[in-house]
Structures are given as structure tokens and as C-alpha cells.
Amino acid sequence: MAEADPSAAPRLKARALFKRAYKAQQRGRLDDAARLYKESIQTHPTAEAYTYLGWTHAYRREYEQAIRYCKLAIDLDPAFGNAYNDLGAYLIERSEWDEAEPWLEAATRAARYVSYHLPYYNLGRLYEHRFQFDRAEAAYVRSTRLDPAFKPARRALGMLRARRN
């Protein structure tokens, strides 16, 4: 008979805590969400829990803490793309444009990521800030091709093209 996986119970408990945290976050209960994400991490650390804990801090404009949690997520799972994009976006919010670029580029290459349109959108913002309009347009186009329903990229692309004509 096979032995039971001793990490299964903590993983399941951590996943349940993560789901509760996410629901609290979606309802705007950031203190509850942060507490539950931390409990999830204490039970069984995951890149997702660290990244979403960072997101709760970003909602409060606590970017230094948000960035720290994204870096912990990347240390734990270097393939998890959300953490790279979020870290880059938080650096942009702090006007640390040059520091954001390598993180956003890494997000475009992450093995475990479903929202590849986001780093391309953020790279578009970065290039536009630098007046690199051809690169910005290419990044926005890539974002809209990856997710045609993503309105911020469509809007940014339209505004960029309108200004250039």
C-alpha cells in the first residue's frame, strides 16, 4: 500500500485559505484578505499567495511591501508569470520605469502564466513614457492580439495612433 503524502493536508488547507483570501479581496476586505493570505503562506507557501498578498498591499499603494512579496513569489517559483508582471507594474506606479522593464520582459517569457497580454500592455506604457512610439505600438498590438477583449490596451493603442496621425 502506498504511503500518504504528508504535504497533502497542509496544501489543501493552504488552498482553502487562499480561496477565502481571494474572495475577501474581491469584496474589498483587504485586512481580512491579507490575514488569510499570510495564514495560507504559513500553512504551505505558494507563489500565488505571495503575489496576491502583494496585490492587497498595492491596492493600498504600499508598493514597497507589494514588491517584496512579488520577489518572494519569484524566489519560490521562478516560472510564475504573475509575480513578474505585478512587480513591473508596481515599479511603474513608483515611476521606476527603467527598473520595471526587465521584470516585464521576464513576464513575457514565464512558463506558468495565462495573462501574457498584461506585460505587453505594461511594456507599451513604458515605451510610450520613453517616447519610443514604434515599440509602444508593437507592444500594445501584441497585447490586443493576445486578448482582444482587454480594453486598456485597445484604448492605449487607439490613443497612441490618434496622436501620431
Q: Show contacts of 105-108: CB within 8 Å, 24+ apart.
A: 107/81, 107/82
Quote the pLDDT of residue 2: 52
Q: What are phi and psi of 121, to 5 degrees?
A: -60, -45
* 73: amino acid identity, one letter: A
Instruction: With H, G, I as helix, E, B as strand and everything else as coil, classify residue 28.
Output: coil
Q: What CATH architecture does domain 11-83 belong to?
A: Alpha Horseshoe (1.25)
Quote the pLDDT of residue 3: 58
pLDDT 10s digits, 54-99? 999 999 999 999 999 999 999 999 999 999 999 999 999 999 999 9
151: CB partners within 8 A, 6+ apart: none
Q: Which residue has the higher pLDDT, 82 or 5?
A: 82
Domain borders along the chain are 11-83
Quote the pLDDT of residue 39: 98
pLDDT 10s digits, 6-53? 668 989 999 999 999 999 999 999 999 999 999 999 999 999 999 999
In this prediction, residue 144 has a pLDDT band, given cuts at 50, 70 and 90, of very high
pLDDT 10s digits, 129-139? 999 999 999 99
Quote the pLDDT of residue 4: 59
The answer to pTM > 0.85 is: yes
